[in-house]
């Protein structure tokens, strides 16, 4: 073939690919609201979990039992335990599900629960499902498992097609479901910041997340389930079988079951399994009791119709922000904020400045540039550092590796990894009010993503959470950012921390390469803050 014909053929192939992508991005969704409605199990149903919890609930009338899960190992065990104990229902809601050891083990336990008759409902956001419909459809083919995706893309297979879809349907697709929960028999719930993936449970060989969940029992759990039902039965939740146009044969589920059983057996002998056997939660379960904190707790969450809202004005009937803000408004002495993505905006800076004027100490722990998994977010945060510091806000940025005594890896914060990233979303007010959930303090959480969390009135739970944060605030685990230079004169940022037991003061973003610092600075010219 002549070079001219070869070039012409290449151009035609390229044009054909572009046409396919554009056609995929212009695909349409099936009509909404055609899914069968279902609701959570009646919380008074006499399941094994209900019988086990009955005595403790009687001793703490009206209170919810809460266990702080700051360890990735404990967080994994809690979810595996919930799957194993469920007799009637399992309800799971997640922003993303990554393949890996921990996800496969949990899927094996969830599939085993479905095999013994447990009804499983899994609701996942659709942002990270491109090309995964066939695998999801196999699980959905189980008679006791139903899987729905939230706010789906019409383009199903190609990530490139989804990118083009943002150009034509960006107002809708930019809204995502960020909620996270795992509920067994409407009796036990795990709610917090963790998705499903090895990095959330300290099983990754790369970066692991320092994160936080609450294991909850008691009256707060039916409220968690009620929020799930709202999303599950909303017009934005589509069953995967209505979106997947491919084919799965009758043996696909059996093959998956056998594969997961083999991987579960192999996982039992893994190094990760050995770490799990040494986890705190295993020790508590061995003693037959959990150190629950019994307190008043309530669920706060965005309504699913938030994905159809526009504008920047929070609606108290839809948004989580107006439900949380009164708790912070009431601060008198101390506010501690932990948010991996912290972009306060001008209004947020003024708000925190007002708290400082009232004498409230404000401390913020967020990611450093080196530990942040989304560099663009750091751009939005960095714009406000100087203003926050001038207002008297104390800023701490987590290092990309957490260490314990004698400069050794801190097994309480980082396991099996050479690096760490903050992923906790929590705050404590006056040492008595606690929030743990999925909500970052940034424009995306406020106006675009849907979020979920639990507010707790408990000095003891606050003490426990602050103890964890206190470790993370140590100079060996985070840098405190300060202003240096004469007051009223030209000042600059410095990062104060500790290296090998000795204090250090740095004048540039610590632990970040020249290229990462430069590229992030350039990114700030192009990334609109409203998208972060």
Largest CA distance in the chain: 86
Spatial contact of 89 and 119, defined as CB atoms under 8 Å apart: yes
Helix (H, G, I), strand (E, B) or coil at 293: strand
d(CA 371, CA 199): 14
Q: Out of 91, 185, 211, 410, which one is annotated catalytic?
A: 185
Q: How many CB atoms lie within 10 A of CB 44?
A: 8
DSSP alpha helices (H): ranges in 443-497?
443, 459-473
**Known catalytic residue: 84?**
no
Spatial contact of 193 and 425, defined as CB atoms under 8 Å apart: yes
**Known catalytic residue: 98?**
no
Q: Out of 63, 132, 175, 178, which one is annotated catalytic?
A: 178
Q: Encode 105-168 in three state secondary structure.
A: HHHHHHHHHHHCCCEEEEEEECCCCCCCHHHHHHHHCCCCEEEEEECCCCCCCCHHHHHHHHHH
Strands 426-429 and 293-301: unpaired
* Per-residue buried b or exposed e for 124-150, using 16+ beta carbons within 10 Å of the residue's own CB: bbbbbbbebbeebbbbbbbebbbbbbb
Spatial contact of 419 and 400, defined as CB atoms under 8 Å apart: yes
Q: Out of 213, 425, 442, 511, which one is annotated catalytic?
A: 425
End-to-end C-alpha distance for the chain, whole angstroms: 50
Helix H or strand E segment including 189: strand 188-192
3-state percent breakdown (helix, strand, coil) of the chain, nearest 5: 40, 20, 35
Spatial contact of 209 and 482, defined as CB atoms under 8 Å apart: no
Q: Out of 63, 132, 175, 180, which one is annotated catalytic?
A: 180
Q: At what angle do helices 3-25 and 159-173 cross, to 10 degrees?
A: 30
Strands 492-499 and 502-506: antiparallel
**Known catalytic residue: 91?**
no
Q: Out of 175, 396, 423, 511, which one is annotated catalytic?
A: 423
Nearest to 213 by CA among 401, 403, 465, 411: 465
**Known catalytic residue: 185?**
yes
**Known catalytic residue: 178?**
yes
**Residue numbers annotated as active site:** 178, 180, 185, 423, 425, 430
């Amino acid at each position: 073939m002549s070079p001219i014909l070869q070039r012409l053929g290449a151009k035609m192939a390229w044009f054909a690919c572009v046409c396919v992508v554009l056609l995929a991005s212009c695909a349409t969704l099936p009509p909404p609201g055609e899914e069968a409605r279902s609701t959570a199990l009646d919380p008074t149903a006499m399941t094994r979990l209900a019988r086990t919890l009955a005595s403790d609930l009687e001793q703490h009338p009206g209170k919810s039992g809460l266990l702080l899960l700051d360890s990735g190992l404990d967080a994994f065990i809690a979810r595996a335990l919930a799957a194993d104990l469920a007799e009637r229902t399992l309800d799971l809601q997640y922003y993303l599900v990554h393949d890996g050891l921990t996800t496969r083990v949990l899927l094996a336990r969830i599939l085993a629960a479905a095999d013994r008759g447990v009804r499983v409902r899994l609701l996942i956001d659709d942002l990270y499902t491109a090309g995964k419909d066939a695998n999801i459809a196999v699980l959905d083919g189980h008679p006791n498992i139903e899987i729905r995706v939230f706010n789906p893309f019409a383009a199903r297979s190609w990530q490139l097609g989804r990118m083009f879809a943002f150009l034509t349907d960006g107002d809708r697709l930019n809204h995502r479901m960020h909620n996270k929960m795992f509920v067994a028999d409407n009796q036990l719930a795990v709610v917090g910041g963790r998705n499903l993936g090895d990095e959330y449970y300290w099983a990754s060989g790369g970066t692991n997340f320092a994160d936080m969940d609450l294991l909850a029992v008691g009256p707060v759990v039916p409220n968690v389930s009620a929020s799930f039902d709202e999303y599950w039965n909303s017009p934005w939740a589509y069953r995967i079988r209505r979106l997947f146009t491919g084919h799965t044969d009758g043996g696909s589920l059996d093959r998956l079951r056998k594969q997961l059983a083999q991987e579960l057996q192999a996982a039992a002998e893994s190094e990760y399994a050995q770490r799990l056997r040494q986890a705190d939660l295993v020790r508590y379960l061995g003693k037959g009791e959990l150190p629950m904190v019994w307190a008043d707790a309530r669920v706060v969450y965005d309504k699913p119709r938030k994905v159809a809202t526009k504008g920047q004005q929070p609606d108290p009937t839809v948004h989580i922000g107006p439900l949380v803000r009164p708790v912070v408004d009431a601060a008198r002495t101390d506010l501690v904020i932990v948010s991996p993505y912290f972009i306060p905006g001008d209004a947020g800076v003024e708000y925190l400045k007002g708290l400082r004027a009232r004498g409230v100490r404000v401390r913020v722990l967020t990611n450093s540039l080196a530990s942040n998994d989304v560099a663009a977010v750091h751009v939005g945060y960095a714009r406000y550092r100087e203003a926050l510091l001038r207002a008297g806000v104390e800023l701490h940025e987590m290092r990309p590796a957490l260490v314990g005594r004698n400069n050794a890896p801190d097994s309480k914060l980082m396991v099996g990894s050479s690096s760490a990233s903050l992923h906790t979303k929590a705050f404590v007010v006056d040492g008595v009010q606690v929030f743990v959930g999925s909500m970052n303090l940034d424009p995306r959480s406020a106006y675009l993503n849907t979020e979920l969390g639990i507010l707790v009135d408990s000095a003891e739970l606050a003490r426990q959470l602050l103890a964890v944060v206190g470790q993370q605030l140590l100079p060996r685990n985070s840098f405190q950012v300060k202003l240096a230079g004469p007051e009223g004169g030209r000042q600059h940022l410095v990062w104060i921390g500790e290296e090998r037991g000795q204090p250090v003061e740095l004048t540039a973003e610590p632990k970040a390469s020249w290229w990462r610092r430069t590229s992030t600075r350039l990114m700030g010219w192009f990334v609109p803050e409203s998208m972060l």
